[in-house]
Amino acid sequence: MRRAVSPEEKDARRSDILNAAKRVFARKGYQSTTIADIAKAAKLSYGSIYWYFDSKEVLFHALMENEEQALRDHVTKALTEHGDLAEITPLKAAVKATFEFFEADRAVVKLLFRDSYALGDRFEKHLFHIYEGFINDIEAMVVAGQKDGKVIDAPPRVVAFCVVSLVGQLAHRRLITDDGLSADVVADFVVAFVLNGILPR
Amino acid sequence: MRRAVSPEEKDARRSDILNAAKRVFARKGYQSTTIADIAKAAKLSYGSIYWYFDSKEVLFHALMENEEQALRDHVTKALTEHGDLAEITPLKAAVKATFEFFEADRAVVKLLFRDSYALGDRFEKHLFHIYEGFINDIEAMVVAGQKDGKVIDAPPRVVAFCVVSLVGQLAHRRLITDDGLSADVVADFVVAFVLNGILPR
Amino acid sequence: MRRAVSPEEKDARRSDILNAAKRVFARKGYQSTTIADIAKAAKLSYGSIYWYFDSKEVLFHALMENEEQALRDHVTKALTEHGDLAEITPLKAAVKATFEFFEADRAVVKLLFRDSYALGDRFEKHLFHIYEGFINDIEAMVVAGQKDGKVIDAPPRVVAFCVVSLVGQLAHRRLITDDGLSADVVADFVVAFVLNGILPR
Amino acid sequence: MRRAVSPEEKDARRSDILNAAKRVFARKGYQSTTIADIAKAAKLSYGSIYWYFDSKEVLFHALMENEEQALRDHVTKALTEHGDLAEITPLKAAVKATFEFFEADRAVVKLLFRDSYALGDRFEKHLFHIYEGFINDIEAMVVAGQKDGKVIDAPPRVVAFCVVSLVGQLAHRRLITDDGLSADVVADFVVAFVLNGILPR
DNA sequence: AATGAATGAGGATTCATTCAT
DNA sequence: AATGAATGAATCCTCATTCAT
């Protein structure tokens, strides 16, 4: 009765800004993007951005968190739909889901694999943290696979990191050149590569 | 006004600046590094930097080229010392040599895998170019391997990119956390991972 | 939208805001105090401040007026309680009362002797006006004293200004360092100083 | 042979800026004065100001220090020319010299007694420090006078503060209204007021 | 060749104030 | 009456780059 804007509306506006920011950052890069750019994209005055975010950097971190969560949700959904956790397939499913996510939204790829570096040291904390989350998940799968003898005996964390890296790097590369390959083919390839390497059986 | 400096001296000074710049960039990141920082590290006045490089960005690109060449030399040397090109081992040798190179000079890792991104779009051209060079080399090895039936039948360029990426990403990760593994172990692991994947034979 | 607030209520609210503002100004200084700070201290939204005051500056001037009146009331009361206007004692009484007033509320000291200056030229008008009021009162006493031969023959207005200044400056100084002296001792000293100077009789 | 500008020239330029700043601050007040204003007054671009001073605040503090030193020098000179330290006259001389200094340069009065307050808390440190310096000097004179029985037995530090305050406040007041009195008359009056108070002997 | 003073474009951020609800 | 979202003017400061010496 007092509030001019409901909390939902406020959240929605925050989301609007984040989405606008994602687009602009993806196009111009973190450094070249001004608060005014974001405001214009969000159809707000630049002063208003500060009503929702304390600073450009805070906004960017919020964006990273947002996208991390979205990716996480996407992967989780893919995994629960798949189910047969006893198999090596969860790994497959996770890799494919991640790849799909990145394919579906190229902006987030630029955000994570290009712009976040522009934050300098501050990015390391955050991006590293995001990586760790995914590495943890994959690591658990690797350890499980090793227990069943279905995965080689190698440092599981490093294995997990390689998997995560490969997906990210391939997604990033595809922004620049796609080597003429569909996302599907590449996703399958990543999985095969990770599982079998390049030597023929 | 009188004596011109010999071209060798000029090159030497250029090298001094590049080395100083590498150190500073590695420590502070591209954006946070000022020309004054580099000049101080090179024991020059900042005006003088411009006698050797037209701009901060040009300097950075020169640095990238420099390091690319150094890496290339290092790998070439490793390969010629090894020789048996008919085998799969060149790949092994190249991967290990690259990894060693990065381990020996962490600054170059920061330069390539962190700071270059801070250039925004401008980096893509250059870093992509560098990648292409290495990918080409690896691709040739992959194709050769495929001809002999020693490498699976997969898009060789993507295979090559995965190999290059893995090495770079692992080297980068080791700046932040080393998972308690020696460079040697990781290098061996990369090779094994690339060759055999994670499934036991 | 319905019920209009009674004038009394409105005045009360105005008073609340002024009191809140006094506290905040005293703590953070005029420039560093934002309307939001004041609103929060007054448990109002900042938009509401503008229903009671047209601007931050207007609010500040209102505060100055308020405090001037309070001081004036305090001094007047002290004088009427004392009475014997024929004597030099009114001056004594006024000085002591003023000093007491400032001692009792340090915020007003900061307001008058620190923050008002932050307004730049705009303060001069107002603070000068306040000073003039007190100087007038003291001047009258001085003139009266001179008529009776109880005060030296000096420009009465300057004498009056000196008296007023001394009290204000001493009160202000005591915010920072008290020289280990009680308010009482200082008040007595001011009076003695004003009356006799520093030469022994 | 290297340096484009001698240290003396650099100092001179610093001085130019400080003088320009003093003028502008005196006219517009600290808050309303922009770096660009100062730069324009000093016939420099605003970026250049930062070659000499790290920030607007640093510049202002430098200005305060400068003026403090100038005042101190002026007073010291007046005292040494006077000499007879056994007498009460040093106090007289110091008071008159200070007053003359302020009369001769009204800008410094605005600087110290108006603009410095705009710095908020930061001013207190500095201005208090300046006051302390002068209070120390006067206090010594007062103590000496007390030893000889030429000054009343009152807290010497408070006496000293009153003297310093009176001079400053009178100088400040004269910016606004001069009560039709010449500087000389006022200076004499301050001394008399301080020495004898307002009661006739 | 080298210096370092000078330049000024560029951008983030603050906050008083307005106004739709 | 009250709210708080929206606005945008205003300004400090950074730093790559230029250029006179």
A13-48: per-residue pLDDT in tens? 999 999 999 999 999 999 999 999 999 999 999 999
Supply the CATH number for residue D34's domain.
1.10.10.60
- B192/B94 same-domain check: yes
- Model pLDDT for residues D28-66, shown as the tens digit of each residue: 999 999 999 999 999 999 999 999 999 999 999 999 999
Supply the CATH number for residue C142's domain.
1.10.357.10
Is pLDDT at B66 greater than 90 in this prediction? yes
- pLDDT at position B1: 40
Alpha helices by DSSP H, listed for chain C, are 7-28, 35-41, 46-52, 56-82, 89-104, 106-110, 116-118, 121-147, 156-176, 183-196
Is pLDDT at D3 greater than 60 in this prediction? no
DSSP state of C34: -
**In angstroms, what separates the C-alpha of B196 from chain A's closest C-alpha?**
4
Computed over every residue of chain A, the mean pLDDT equals: 88
Task: Measure, in angstroms, how far nucleotide F3 C1' is from residue A48 CA.
Answer: 17
Query: Closest nucleotide (CA of C50 to C1')?
Result: E17
- Model pLDDT for residues B123-181, shown as the tens digit of each residue: 778 988 999 999 999 999 889 888 888 888 888 998 899 999 999 999 999 988 877 78
- C104/C151 same-domain check: yes
Residues in chain D: 201
Mean pLDDT of C59-79: 95
Residue B57 beta carbon within 7 A of nucleic strand F: yes
- Nucleotides on strand F with an atom closer than 7 A to protein CB? 1-9, 11-21
Computed over every residue of chain D, the mean pLDDT equals: 88
- pLDDT at position D88: 54
Is pLDDT at C84 greater than 60 in this prediction? no
Q: Which residues of D touch C167 (CB under 8 A)?
A: none
How many domains does the structure of chain B reveal?
Answer: 2
Query: Closest nucleotide (CA of B51 to C1')?
Result: E1
Chain A residue with minimum CA distance to B142: A198
What is the C-alpha separation between B66 and B58, in angstroms, rounded? 12
- A95/A156 same-domain check: yes
Q: Give the highest mean pLDDT range of A107-111, A121-125, A175-179.
A: A107-111
- A80/A39 same-domain check: no
User: Between the CA atoms of A176, A178, A184 and A187, what dihedral angle is there, to the nearest 10 degrees?
Assistant: -60
Residue B200 beta carbon within 7 A of nucleic strand E: no
- Of C25, C181, C16, C24, nearest to C113 by C-alpha is C25
Q: Which residues of D touch C158 (CB under 8 A)?
A: 170, 179, 181, 186, 189
Instruction: Tell me which of B53, B68, B85 is where a domain ends.
Output: B53
- C8/C86 same-domain check: no
Pairwise CB contact (< 8 Å): D159 & C193: yes
Chains that touch D (3 or more CB pairs under 8 A): C
- pLDDT at position B86: 47
Contact of B63 with B18, CB cutoff 8 Å: yes
- Model pLDDT for residues A99-110, shown as the tens digit of each residue: 999 999 999 999
- C103/C178 same-domain check: yes
- C47/C118 same-domain check: no
Mean pLDDT of D89-96: 84
- D94/D113 same-domain check: yes
Is pLDDT at C122 greater than 80 in this prediction? no
Residue C36 beta carbon within 7 A of nucleic strand E: yes
Q: Which residues of D touch C88 (CB under 8 A)?
A: 199
Residue A57 beta carbon within 7 A of nucleic strand E: yes
- Nucleotides on strand E with an atom closer than 7 A to protein CB? 1-21
Q: How many helices (H) and strands (E) does chain D have?
A: 9, 0
Contact of B64 with B115, CB cutoff 8 Å: no
Pairwise CB contact (< 8 Å): D117 & C117: yes
- C144/C122 same-domain check: yes
Pairwise CB contact (< 8 Å): A170 & B161: yes
Q: Which residues of B touch A192 (CB under 8 A)?
A: 152, 154, 197
**Full domain range(s) for residue A16:** 1-53
- Of A117, A114, A79, nearest to A98 by C-alpha is A79
- pLDDT at position D2: 39
Q: Give the amino acid at A112.
A: L
Instruction: Tell me which of D15, D33, D53 is where a domain ends.
Output: D53
User: Nearest CB to A200: which of B152, B169, B192?
Assistant: B152
Chain D residue with minimum CA distance to C161: D170
Q: Give the amino acid at B58.
A: V
Count of other CB atoms within 10 angstroms of residue D170:
23
Angle between helices D89-104 and D121-147 (to 10 degrees): 150
Task: Measure, in angstroms, how far nucleotide E8 C1' is from residue D50 CA.
Answer: 13
Q: Which residues of C touch D179 (CB under 8 A)?
A: 155, 157-158, 161
F20 C1': nearest CA residue: D4
The radius of gyration of chain B's CA atoms, rounded to the nearest angstrom, is 19
Pairwise CB contact (< 8 Å): A170 & B151: no
E19 C1': nearest CA residue: C47
- D40/D135 same-domain check: no
- D44/D91 same-domain check: no
User: Nearest CB to D161: which of C173, C198, C201?
Assistant: C173
- D72/D139 same-domain check: yes
- Of D99, D93, D16, D105, nearest to D59 by C-alpha is D16
D60, D131, D195, D198, best to mutate vs chain C, most C CBs in 10 Å: D198
Q: Which residues of B touch A31 (CB under 8 A)?
A: 31, 118, 120
Computed over every residue of chain B, the mean pLDDT equals: 88
DSSP for C43-95, written as a single string: TS-HHHHHHH-SSHHHHHHHHHHHHHHHHHHHHHHHHHHH--TTSSHHHHHHH
Residue D46 beta carbon within 7 A of nucleic strand F: yes
Is pLDDT at C29 greater than 90 in this prediction? yes
- pLDDT at position C2: 40
Pairwise CB contact (< 8 Å): C158 & D181: yes
